[in-house]
A and B are shown apart, each in its own frame.
Chain A
């Protein structure tokens, strides 16, 4: 799928999880293009989901979600593994950008979210903020890293490596408006096929102003560890309440301290007497 990539236009991914086969070609392509090392698989060993999580060196992660119910189901009612190639959502209202104190996180000319490695100082505020557990410190570079939506490839007019490698077109790259229209058509198709739980996540502005990497899901967002639309509010929502709490406490504390200054005599008399008797110090 050749796309003419021009700066000033918004690009992104539409990931159709209904056709993901869990081959992890996207993960490999991402690692290869971005020169990310293979990481120690640890206790996950050779299991299906041995990538485990997105982090500073894994910018694509095919989630294998065991959704098989414990009880025996009738024909057609059982739910198999859900697969989803996860990635940075390049949120329109990005929590990571909201809290970065260095200005390292910027929005590019393709309307994607990019961390400038040379500016980041590794404070990890963005990690605390990203609601999708996307960002982490790359232990080799000691800065926060995540998917760049192949910023360098876009600048060179090439589509991102993962989308190019995906054999089932589960990951589709393109201009956001085109992808959204495509997603609506695909959802109608999947619904018509009988999967009524299928839904689009992040295609409109209800989730962080719209996700540039949005998804067709086969179950509720929470099942994929994606926050519900009503929970998708920037961290700065808590500034006002937090600061008001501090101001209120400070006011009460000042009065308390003044009270202590005026009434210290009660304690001076009540505590065990010091070596020298204290002077009556009430002002």
Chain B
């Protein structure tokens, strides 16, 4: 039984390629970073503030870069604002089309970038030991609302693909969830990587590693659901055809460090290997692989459908 009805596809590809791929990546990582930063600051230990700030520092530039890529992807980049304002003669006004996640997403991005900008400045202010811009309940409310918007940003990109008549994309209701879960695991991995450069970040690494593993399990479950929905709609063969299956495999490889961590290390105290090698693996190689996997997953979904 399908939630999305099987559709025969004769639609042509929109040729969304590299800009969109990297935008989707940034949207996932920015969304996950903002969310994790909020969680760490307001529900974590005081020592988690260091990583929370990294998260707020990541979200804003990643969002700005994402907006830039989205704009560059347009055939008429200077008309980016046409997404926001209707320029049809006689119908001037704000544009909002709730039928397409593209329109909803553009507005959400705009709102998110305001949240991210303020949180970014707030982190800067705190780092310079001046007063925080966002304190107490207001700060918390700001970050929580911002997190909700950012969770949407990380996930809507998958819904945007689904709301089309393209093979693969329009055959699964789970792409949005999949992108959200992988964005979150990517964000945890990125924060883990960056935590090496910030003193006081050590005590948060356990949380980041565990959350990265749990998000990866969620991602794996959603990936299975996506494959099942594709079987149902007869597009699994297209999705796993050569060479796109290599991207799919790369996405799977990207999940391995986290899954291996869950099965092998989660319940064992201590570790084998030399100290230095173990640390490099835990803090650099693993997260890097996860991030490459996040990118490969999106590349697989984007490219396999359009060929």
Task: List residues of A whose CB falls within 8 A of some B CB.
Answer: 53, 95, 98-104, 106, 116, 118-125, 127-133, 135-137, 142-143, 222, 225-228, 230-231, 233-239, 241-246, 248-250, 252-253, 256-261, 263-274, 276, 278-279, 281-283
Contact across chains for A246 and B8 when beta carbons are under 8 A apart: no
- B15 surroundings in chain A (CB, below 8 A): 124, 127
Task: List residues of B whose CB falls within 8 A of some A CB.
Answer: 3-16, 35-36, 39-40, 43-45, 47-48, 73-77, 79-80, 82-83, 86-88, 91, 95, 97, 99-103, 106, 151-152, 155-156, 158-159, 161-166, 169-170, 173-178, 180-181, 184, 202-211, 213-215, 218, 222, 261, 265-271, 273, 275, 278-279, 281-282
Give bound CA distance, A72 to B178, whole Å: 50
Q: Using known A-B contacts A235-B164, A238-B173, determine if residue A272 contacts B278 with beta carbons closer than 8 Å.
A: yes
- Sorted nearest first, the 4 A-B pairs with minimum C-beta distance are A122-B75, A272-B278, A241-B173, A268-B206
- B30: shortest Cβ distance to chain A, in Å? 15
Give bound CA distance, A120 to B75, whole Å: 9
Contact across chains for B266 and A101 when beta carbons are under 8 A apart: no
- B215: shortest Cβ distance to chain A, in Å? 6
- B43 surroundings in chain A (CB, below 8 A): 258, 261, 283
Contact across chains for A272 and B75 when beta carbons are under 8 A apart: no
- B282 surroundings in chain A (CB, below 8 A): 271-272
Contact across chains for A269 and B170 when beta carbons are under 8 A apart: no
Find the residue from A98, A241, A256, A265 having the highest chain B CB count within 10 A. A241
Give bound CA distance, A180 to B15, whole Å: 36
Contact across chains for B206 and A121 when beta carbons are under 8 A apart: no
Give bound CA distance, A258 to B36, whole Å: 10
Contact across chains for A239 and B266 when beta carbons are under 8 A apart: no
- A283 surroundings in chain B (CB, below 8 A): 43-45
Q: Using known A-B contacts A246-B158, A258-B39, determine if residue A101 contacts B102 with beta carbons closer than 8 Å.
A: yes
Contact across chains for A116 and B97 when beta carbons are under 8 A apart: no
Contact across chains for B8 and A227 when beta carbons are under 8 A apart: yes
Q: Using known A-B contacts A121-B76, A235-B165, A258-B39, determine if residue A104 contacts B209 with beta carbons closer than 8 Å.
A: no
Give bound CA distance, A258 to B40, whole Å: 9
Give bound CA distance, A182 to B169, whole Å: 39
Contact across chains for B99 and A257 when beta carbons are under 8 A apart: no
